[in-house]
Amino acid sequence: MNKFRNVIILVTFFVTLALVSTYLGNGIQQKVIELPYSDLVKNVKQGRITNVVLSNSHDRIRGKIVDGRRFITVAPFGDRQFITTLLENNVDVHVESGESTFGVILHHILSWLPFLFIVAIAILFSRKMPGGKGSIGSGPLAFNRASSRMMQEKKVNITFDDVAGIDEAKAELEEIVEFLKKPEKFRRLGGKIPRGVLLVGAPGNGKTLLAKAIAGEAGVPFYSISGSEFIEVFAGVGASRVREMFNHSKKNAPCIVFIDEIDAVGRQRDSVLRGGNDEREQTLNQLLVEMDGFEPSSGVIVLAATNRPDILDHALLRPGRFDRKIMVQYPDMSGREKILRVHSKNVPLADDVDLLTVARGTPGFSGAELANLVNEAALIAAKNNKLAVSMQDLEMAKDKVLMGSERKSMIMTDEDKKFTAYHEAGHALIAILTPSSDPVHKVTIIPRGAALGMVMRLPEKDKVSVSKEELLGDIKVAMGGRAAEALVFGEDKVTTGASQDIKNATAIARNMVTKWGMSYKVGVRTFDFDSGYFDRMDNVSDKTSQIIDAEIKAIMDSCYTVVEEMLVKNRDKLDRIVELLVKYETLTGDEVRKICNGEDIVKNEKTRPPLNYTIGGLPESE
């Protein structure tokens, strides 16, 4: 339709331009001669002039001679006798204004030009503003319309089969799908489907995907809009958009209305600092009114997503509006495996790929991050001209997502490499010797991101809670790197590489004392020490702050002492790990365990260039 309209406009423009050009061309194509006034009078008396055109001021005379030529004459001012002469000799006399034809046309064009310019600017802005082309209420001056993007059933191809790892949320939403398909089943017993459903979860966990899956399963129209699109500079625009969106959705019921990031418009209202008349509050009030106005049989269900439910207005969460709150949590190990299978459905996988192992190695990953991991693995495989994605590609993709790309151009001296190797070997050895530690998955001294090396541990299962023994084990593993440096090179030669380790260990010890009640001297109490400055906290006495400081130091010192003793007793294993780590640069967890058991390992030589170039400074922190 828009293309047809543009064609009509162009054709009209060129036709008009052609007509104007023809008209002006006809007026100037014949040559006009200048005729003196005396000769004009003689020709009139001789009957050689057929017609004349006089201007209102009578100072210019135009006309036509019997032979077809045209002339122009400047007449003397005030010669009224000449008109009598013209009439006596039967000459056609016409009177017009003093402007030329071209001047008249130019005058009209210039008079219309400002109006045409304003219309063009209005059309341009109406296309650029929300509510323009491709949205509900498109057209000029449609800025107060809702810019919701509707996706018809044929466009929503996502179903619950495409959503994995959040089975509890899917189970709750299946009831919504059944109501949209068979509403009479619920109405027969007087049941009412929830008017609004709030999806709460961290970014990337599949809230928008779930909303689309409901529309795809039920086969109903899907409206999607962001909460920020309701807020504009003009007062009342947001409320108008809310009304327009709900009116349009009611006409197309049953349907799904999805409001993403609803906290942008639904945050708590402040009755103290403001009077409640600003644009945001007007929009929220209109949203509350529209949700209250829904008829139970309207078939319009509002889904909203947020990762900040704590700041939402209480009126928005009361029964009758957003009746249900569905938590979309991070997937567990089984859920991560299912998500990986969904995203690798169209990716050819090699026979050595074990998605369960990949799922174990990605604790805390969201669905979006897992999808990115599979995509990175496919890119790596394609870059190496492979026909299928192997386990090695997935491991490289995981390392890249977790730690960043390899810094292959970074060259270290043998001394720097030895420092890094002992540091990482200390972590790995303590992790293997500590029963409560998670199993070691990989040890590497290849620089990635800000780290010169790292030890990756993978939990055998998802943890719901963590015991005191496991927390102390994590502190010991964190202290292994610094203790190994001090044991081998001396206290005066330790590096800054353990800064992040010390920070993490101190945070665990502080939380054990102040949050988790794991200190006998402090007792089963909790303190709000997020800032870390105990002497500045008003709710804690100086004596209690000193006890807390002493308990944190005692935990750290005792763990460090145990780590030192373990390294001294197993110095031969530490040296053997370092020897092979320097040689191969990367060791798997199984290989490190074999080394600790006195077994020999054989693997391919490293492919990185020799580290023989000196870099400035000490090894970087992990």
Q: Indicate if 175 belongs to the active site.
A: no
356-373 burial code (b ≥16 CB/10 A, e <16): eebbbbbbebbbbbbbbb
Contact of 427 with 477, CB cutoff 8 Å: yes
Task: Please give the single-letter amino acid code of residue 114.
Answer: P
Contact of 276 with 232, CB cutoff 8 Å: no
Residue 63 φ then ψ, to 5°: -175, -170
Residue 34 φ then ψ, to 5°: -90, 120
Strands annotated E in 315-439: 322-327
From the candidates 337, 424, 591, 620, which is the catalytic residue? Answer: 424
Q: Give the gyration radius of the chain's Cα atoms.
A: 42
Residues 446 and 400: their CA atoms lie apart, in Å, by: 12
Alpha helices by DSSP H, listed for 129-201, are: 167-181, 183-187
Distances from the Cα of 261 to the Cα of 150, 308, 387, 415, angstroms? 18, 9, 41, 52
Q: Which residues contact 198 (CB under 8 A, 6 or more apart)?
A: 262, 303, 304, 305, 306, 309, 312, 317, 322, 324, 325, 326
Cis bond upstream, residue 221 (ω within 30): no
Contact of 586 with 447, CB cutoff 8 Å: no
Q: Are strands 322-327 and 196-200 parallel, antiparallel or unpaired?
A: parallel
Which tokens go with 447? 């620089």
Quick one: CA torsion of 258, 263, 266, 269, rounded to 10 degrees?
180
Say which DSSP state 622 is in.
-
Task: Please give the single-letter amino acid code of residue 535.
Answer: D
Residues 163 and 342: their CA atoms lie apart, in Å, by: 8
Distances from the Cα of 245 to the Cα of 135, 240, 327, 588, angstroms? 11, 9, 26, 56
State the catalytic residues. 424
